[in-house]
Chains A and B, each alone.
Chain A
């Protein structure tokens, strides 16, 4: 009898089932007497293996939620022709222009609160902001076509410290030819688009940071101004607690 023994501290894994199948088939070829019974057991084991393997792929290991950030996605050089300027309200109700961020490397980040990877990427963008204090880097997030109240709640919940603007009618999103969320366009200090990525990534990744640093290192120190993010809106959690959570 072939026995499947689950090792301590983990469930049965793929190798157990593979062993069952291989052993069964080897035994089958060794003698006809037990062949049918062994064949049946092997087929059952094979089915069990295939089923569990498919589920194994579908669900993360216990206690290890899978990240929604693309681990190897890269910034692509910008090849578009559009670099539309804009004026949008931020979630605090203040009007903001793209022009006001000139002099900084700008991460123009298009997102929506219903986009699951966007939530994790927001945390990463906040971390980048925290680690870049004093440097001419600004994250400018643009919410696409959602009601103000929902975006405010989202921003308050995450404790976001960078500007979050509202593209209520999708006009800016269309002008920049953004077709999927999240999309981030990296602008140099002259507000010229340099990179684009249509995926959620960890913005503190070494290779990503290096690409951004190359852009702001070209800015003469004397030309550096106070980071725009310092002047960005900040909605505290308590300020909008009455809006509730989804």
Chain B
């Protein structure tokens, strides 16, 4: 938009300025609570275009199982590949389907159907419960740094500043959440979900990005404060039942609906859902868009997204720094998109010209 085109549109300003007051006669509600379980089938189809040599593909499979809110069901597939093998990342337990086509396969294709069951989630943070303690190994895993989420240097310094004076783990976890909400912003121009390079974000003071950036920042700051935390990489599969357009899938086609959330472990409470990135998404995208932090819709989402989240989303895994089996590629920062290799080259998952894939979600009624 240039100035001239913009000025043409300013005639409508007086009416537009009134719109927010007309549209919000009722206070918005965003209050997920554990309720009925809902099942979905996710169909992932990958086509390798202009196949050369022996193409390969790696399709993330839902591999999160949490008794309170998520069950990964069976995954089945059809393909013209020579081999299709379910592979588990040894460190984080992330599952993927590794598919290899034979040389000369004209139109390599694989279609995977995954069943998941999920529901809304909320944790009462007013008093500790009887949540089981993390094992030593789990605690170590979710406190250590990753390639893009180190927990020392500027991450540690920033975290120390945020939690200074906070006495309890709940206070620390909340302080970090509020800091991320206050200091970051969603950048619509960020490719995909971002890269999650939190040191670059902090050093350059450019705290913009999308979920893989903003929630990774939360995870890094929490780990640096001594709170086990983890990213949960996944996909929105249904609209928000609270009417938030920005927090749900717009249709059954969820090809571009990838979204990662975060969790922080608090002794006595267990894993707590947090999603500061979605607060910033509401700010930027919820109609009429570009909302202020004191907009009632933002306030409602901000209050809820520390301690609860809506079960309209599929969780793939918690993994970082994954090697793709059978490939000679650098480790991935995370596995949330289908990956494919053609002529020995890893294809760009965000470029439909090099690898074509679709994801379709369907609600299953019992």
Contacts and interface: CB of A to CB of B under 8 A. Distances in A.
Partners in one complex: yes
B186 to A, nearest CB: 16
Interface string B2-17: 1111110010010000
A147 B195 CA distance: 13
B353 interface: yes
Contacts of A61: 2-3
B292 to A, nearest CB: 15
Interface stretch (A52-60, A78-86, A212-220, A221-229): A52-60
Nearest to B202: A179
Given A149-B347, A169-B330, A59 B353 contact: no
Given A149-B348, A168-B329, A51 B3 contact: no
Contacts of A148: 345-346
B76 interface: no
Interface stretch (A32-40, A98-106, A155-163, A238-246): A238-246
A31 interface: no
Given A153-B351, A246-B353, 15 more contacts: A12-B7, A56-B3, A59-B6, A61-B2, A61-B3, A145-B195, A145-B330, A147-B346, A148-B345, A149-B347, A168-B329, A169-B331, A180-B204, A243-B354, A246-B351
Contacts of B346: 147-149
Given A168-B330, A244-B351, A60 B2 contact: yes
Given A59-B6, A62-B2, A62-B5, A147 B347 contact: yes
Contacts of A198: 204
B132 to A, nearest CB: 37
Contacts of B2: 59-63
Interface in B114-147: 147
A150 B204 CA distance: 25
Interface residues of B, number: 30
Contacts of A243: 353-354
A147 B203 contact: no
A169 B147 CA distance: 10
B331 A244 contact: no
Interface string A176-206: 0001100000000000000000100000000
A73 interface: no
A51 B13 contact: yes
A12 B329 CA distance: 56
Given A145-B195, A169-B330, A179-B203, A242 B50 contact: yes
Interface of B: 1-7, 10, 13, 50, 147, 189-191, 195, 199-200, 203-204, 206, 329-331, 345-348, 351, 353-354
Nearest to A6: B7
A147 B354 CA distance: 11
A188 to B, nearest CB: 26
Nearest to A51: B13
Contacts of A170: 147
Given A61-B3, A242-B50, A246-B351, A179 B330 contact: no
Given A179-B203, A180-B204, A244-B354, A52 B10 contact: yes
Contacts of B147: 170
Contacts of B330: 145, 168-169
B191 A114 contact: yes
25 contacts: A59-B3, A60-B3, A61-B2, A62-B3, A63-B2, A145-B330, A148-B345, A148-B346, A149-B345, A149-B347, A149-B348, A150-B351, A153-B351, A168-B330, A169-B331, A170-B147, A179-B199, A180-B200, A180-B203, A180-B204, A198-B204, A243-B354, A244-B353, A245-B353, A246-B353
A147 B330 CA distance: 10
Interface centre among A12, A62, A149, A198 (most CB of B within 10 A): A149
Contacts of A146: 348
Nearest to A55: B6
A149 B352 CA distance: 12
Contacts of B191: 114
Interface centre among A51, A114, A198 (most CB of B within 10 A): A114
A130 to B, nearest CB: 29
Interface centre among A52, A147, A168 (most CB of B within 10 A): A147
A62 B8 CA distance: 12
A244 B204 CA distance: 33
Given A114-B191, A179-B204, A11 B348 contact: no
A116 interface: yes
Contacts of A116: 189
B117 to A, nearest CB: 34
B336 to A, nearest CB: 15
A153 B7 CA distance: 37
A197 to B, nearest CB: 14
A246 B191 CA distance: 11
Contacts of A12: 7
B50 to A, nearest CB: 6
Contacts of A147: 345-348
A63 B4 CA distance: 10
A229 B147 CA distance: 33
Given A145-B330, A149-B354, A179 B345 contact: no
B343 to A, nearest CB: 9
Given A59-B3, A147-B346, A180 B353 contact: no
B46 to A, nearest CB: 16
Nearest to B355: A149
